[in-house]
Structure 1
Amino acid sequence: MVLLILFLLGLAAGFYLATYVAPYAIIQPPRKVRQETPATYGLAYEPTRLTTADGTALDAFYIPATVPARSNLIMLHGVGSCKEVYLGTVAELTALGYNVLLWDQRAHGKSGGQYLSYGYREKEDVSLAIDWLEAKSPGLPTGIYGNSMGGAVALQSLAHDGRLRFGLIESTFQDLQTVTHAYGRRMSGLPLPRWLTNYVLDQAGKIADFPPRSIQPLLSARAITQPVLLIHGDTDRNIGIENAHALFAALASADKELYTVQNGDHADLWDKGGEPYRDAWFGFLKRMVATNGIAE
Structure 2
Amino acid sequence: MVDSELRQVGEFMKKRTKIIIACTSVVALVTLGLFGAGLYFYQVAVVPAPKSFLSKSHRISRNNPQYSAHQWYQHVTKKRWYEVSATRHLILDANYISAAKPTQKTVLIAHGFMGNKDKMFAYAYMFHRLGYNVLLPDARGHGDSQGNYIGYGWPDRLDYVKWIKKVIATNGSNSQIVMFGTSMGGAATMMVSGVSDLPKQVKAFVEDCGYTDVYDEVAYQAKELYHLPKFPLVGIVSLINHAKNGYSFKQASALNQVKKNQRPMLFIHGAKDHFVPTKMVYPLYRADKGPKQLLIVPGASHADSYQKHPTLYRDTVKQFLAKYVK
Short-chain TM bin: 0.7 to 0.9
CA contact (8 A) 1:26 1:204 kept: no
CA contact (8 A) 1:73 1:101 kept: yes
Unpaired segments ≥5 residues, structure 1:
1-6
- Percent identity between the aligned chains? 23
Equivalent residues in 2 for 1:19-58 (5 A)?
19-30=38-49, 40-53=73-86, 54-58=88-92
Q: 1:227 aligns with which of 261, 264, 277?
A: 264
Equivalent residues in 2 for 1:147-186 (5 A)?
147-160=182-195, 161-163=198-200, 164-186=202-224
Q: Which region of structure 1 is more displaced relative to structure 2, 111-120 or 242-251?
A: 111-120
Q: Which is bigger in relative contact order (C-alpha 8 A, separation at least 6)?
A: 1
1:271 is displaced (CA, Å) by: 3.1
Q: 2:286 aligns with which of 249, 252, 257?
A: 249
Q: 1:109 aligns with which of 120, 135, 143?
A: 143
Q: What whole-Å deviation, never above 9, does each CA across 1:199-231 have from its counterpart, x for those lacking one?
A: 222222222232332111111111111111000
Counterpart-to-counterpart distance in 2, 1:8 and 1:195: 14
Task: Output the amino acid matched with 1:42.
Answer: H
Q: 2:325 aligns with which of 280, 292, 296?
A: 292
Counterpart-to-counterpart distance in 2, 1:193 and 1:87: 35
CA contact (8 A) 2:72 2:125 kept: no
| 1:3 match | none
Q: 1:266 aligns with which of 275, 296, 302?
A: 302
CA contact (8 A) 1:230 1:248 kept: yes
Counterpart-to-counterpart distance in 2, 1:8 and 1:51: 45
Counterpart-to-counterpart distance in 2, 1:12 and 1:225: 45
SS in 2 for 1:107: coil
Q: 1:198 aligns with which of 235, 241, 244?
A: 235
| Pair 31,46 (structure 1): closer, same or farther in 2 beyond 3 Å | farther
Unpaired segments ≥5 residues, structure 2:
1-25, 52-56, 58-68
TM-align CA RMSD: 2.7
TM-score (norm 2): 0.78
| Pair 10,282 (structure 1): closer, same or farther in 2 beyond 3 Å | farther
| 2:60 match | none
